[in-house]
Structure 1
Amino acid sequence: MEGNRSSSQSQQHRDLLQKTKEFTRSIVKDLSEERSPLIFIKRFRNYCTSLDATCACSSDLSKGCDILTLERQCHVHRIDVLLRVLLAVQQLLQEHRHGSKRDIYYMHPSVFSEQSVVDRAINDLCILLQCSRHNLNVVSVGKGLVMGWLKFVEAGRKFDCINNLNTAHHIPVLVEEVKDIISVAHYILVVEKESVFQRLANDRFCTRNRCIVITGRGYPDISTRRFLRLLMENLHLPAYCLVDCDPYGFDILTTYRFGSMVFFC
């Protein structure tokens, strides 16, 4: 099983590297023939969390398309950023390494100017290459927490939440490397706020209730959402979500259920 997964990931990397080469060649070809490259990027895409290299969001409705060209001055910087980020991603794939969005930002901080510029370029690449961000070996700095009746191994490290039921553990960033999941929990409880998570820990909630408690500390990052899905798929447990009864709470609930939505104006 592990060998098959490793082989599949290697094939995904090769496919993505081939796509990056084809994309780069098309730009070079246009420039060599004194044409301005045209880069088509859809402006709306449900952020893909598929574990496969192929994007699972092709059925989502787009809100039109950005056409980037060097003939428009306002597009030159965006194309420059896109190619710089593409180079960083290509290096990560070739060297079988993972890097954070923040790492990429600090490669050219004077060019990128702010983190959101890099974030947008990464989303553009996901759309162009039809893949999800973790397939590009780009990760976020994880912020999610978990506690309760759960054991697992991630990248050779053992996480034994059962030994300290009411102690918070950071959710792994590299969720695809989580394996050997063991649990005797009856359900998973997802809470919106870290303060509620800490209150449950202080009240020794998991000692009295055979469950797993997860928080994304507000709007959940991708690692937290993927970790929750991994537990549900492997343990076949029901998941309940405790959020505020207001628009923000319902937005967080739908983010866990359906993923985040990316809008480009």
Structure 2
Amino acid sequence: MEINNIMEGKNSSSHMLQKKIRDFTGSIVESISNGRSPVIYFNRFSNYCTDPSGNCYCSHDTVKGVEILTLQREYHARRLDILLRVLLIVQQLLQENKHGSKRDIYYMHPSVFREQSVVDRTINDICILLQCSRHNLNVVSVAKGLVMGWLRFSEADRITNCLSHPDTAHSIPVHIEEVKDIISVADYILVVEKESVFQRLANDCFCKTNRCIVITGRGYPDIPTRRFLRLLTEQLKLPVYCLVDCDPYGFDILTTYRFGSMQMAYDAKIMRLPEIQWIGAFPSDVEKYSIPQHCLLPMTTEGSKQRQF
């Protein structure tokens, strides 16, 4: 019964998105047929806090501006061409109930797209245009995250049982909407920045002696890792701690988990985790514990720029 409800929900969402795509492309054809230049409006979102106290919950899903696309500029005409090409691919995925990655889409027209980043931006534009999340388009990421600990769950017909060997790494599932039957006896969730730290914890049998779940996004977390982490916190109601390096990259990764990414600010509401707590070394610890300067790494130019996120 539950599977049928999920399938019905997915089909309904798919039909709705296909209708939106038909209506959108139909309006463009109508405008051109009548000798008018189509005008497309993209809402733009921001995902940062301007409150100097830092004690606010920012409105992550509030529109911060509008971008207007017309055929009167050559650059806009190219973007519209790419938008329509990607929309066609997305429509085919939805009609055939298939999934594809952003990389798959890029290789369908590499000479037109030229760069992967062009496809990435267009997918974001489509999500904003259709008011949906990327997974609703059947465009998926190849999950790179890992999980271990006191946890058991299923994805479609596949069961992942970490309980029998809590210090064995398992890949985080791609289709988060199909994850169900989550069971855990953990006391908390620990997110670590680096795979090397994750592997060290596994080698030291950390989960065996500590009732926890450990997750790593192997650096900057991908969408499946962030969605999976949010799903676990919603289902299990466990405290979440994040261990990152005390440097600009670590801070950026922490804020990605906590507030969402700037690139996908329009979708932060389904991936952000404001309750995640930072653990590890703090900048204030340098003076507090009189850490010698030779133990610190100098700030590089690249790191300095990264700090301006």
* 1:151 and 2:166 aligned: no
1:161-181 C-alpha deviation (Å, 9 max, x unpaired): 122221111101111111111
3-state SS of paired residue (1:36): coil
- CA positional deviation for 1:58: 8.0
**Which residue matches 1:49?**
none
3-state SS of paired residue (1:261): coil
Q: Which runs of 5+ in 2 are unaligned?
A: 48-58, 266-309
Aligned residue identity for 1:232? T
Where do residues 176-191 of structure 1 align in structure 2 (5 Å cutoff)? 176-191=177-192
Where do residues 167-246 of structure 1 align in structure 2 (5 Å cutoff)? 167-246=168-247
* 1:60 and 2:70 aligned: no
**Which residue matches 1:104?**
105
3-state SS of paired residue (2:160): strand
Q: Aligned partners of 1:4 and 1:43: how far apart in 2?
A: 33
Q: Aligned partners of 1:22 and 1:61: how far apart in 2?
A: 23
* Structure whose CA Rg is larger: 2
- CA positional deviation for 1:250: 2.0
**Which residue matches 1:50?**
none
Matched residue count? 253
Q: Aligned partners of 1:79 and 1:45: how far apart in 2?
A: 23
Q: Aligned partners of 1:65 and 1:97: how far apart in 2?
A: 32
Aligned residue identity for 1:229? R
- CA positional deviation for 1:150: 0.9
The change in CA–CA distance for 1:109 and 1:164 in structure 2 (over 3 A counts) is same
Q: Aligned partners of 1:253 and 1:96: how far apart in 2?
A: 35
- CA positional deviation for 1:188: 0.6
* 1:73 and 2:39 aligned: no
Q: Aligned partners of 1:9 and 1:255: how far apart in 2?
A: 28
Contact kept, 8 Å, 1:43 with 1:263, in 2: the verdict is no
- CA positional deviation for 1:45: 5.0
- Larger RCO, structures 1/2 (Cα 8 Å, 6+ apart): 1
Q: Aligned partners of 1:217 and 1:93: how far apart in 2?
A: 30
C-alpha RMSD over aligned residues: 1.7
Aligned residue identity for 2:67? D
Contact kept, 8 Å, 1:175 with 1:227, in 2: the verdict is yes
Aligned residue identity for 1:210? R
The change in CA–CA distance for 1:72 and 1:217 in structure 2 (over 3 A counts) is same
For normalisation by structure 1, the TM-score amounts to 0.91
Contact kept, 8 Å, 2:43 with 2:63, in 1: the verdict is no
**Which residue matches 2:162?**
161
For normalisation by structure 2, the TM-score amounts to 0.78
1:80-135 C-alpha deviation (Å, 9 max, x unpaired): 11111101111111111111111111110111111100000000001111111111
Contact kept, 8 Å, 2:152 with 2:162, in 1: the verdict is yes
3-state SS of paired residue (1:262): coil
- CA positional deviation for 1:263: 8.1
Q: Aligned partners of 1:12 and 1:245: how far apart in 2?
A: 42
Aligned residue identity for 1:169? H
Q: Aligned partners of 2:156 and 2:141: how far apart in 1?
A: 17
Contact kept, 8 Å, 2:149 with 2:213, in 1: the verdict is yes
Q: Aligned partners of 1:232 and 1:144: how far apart in 2?
A: 16
Contact kept, 8 Å, 2:191 with 2:240, in 1: the verdict is yes
The change in CA–CA distance for 1:65 and 1:253 in structure 2 (over 3 A counts) is same
User: Sequence identity, in percent?
Assistant: 69
The change in CA–CA distance for 1:12 and 1:254 in structure 2 (over 3 A counts) is same
Q: Which runs of 5+ in 1 are unaligned?
A: 47-56
Q: Aligned partners of 1:101 and 1:169: how far apart in 2?
A: 24
- CA positional deviation for 1:11: 1.3
Where do residues 62-141 of structure 1 align in structure 2 (5 Å cutoff)? 62=64, 64-141=65-142
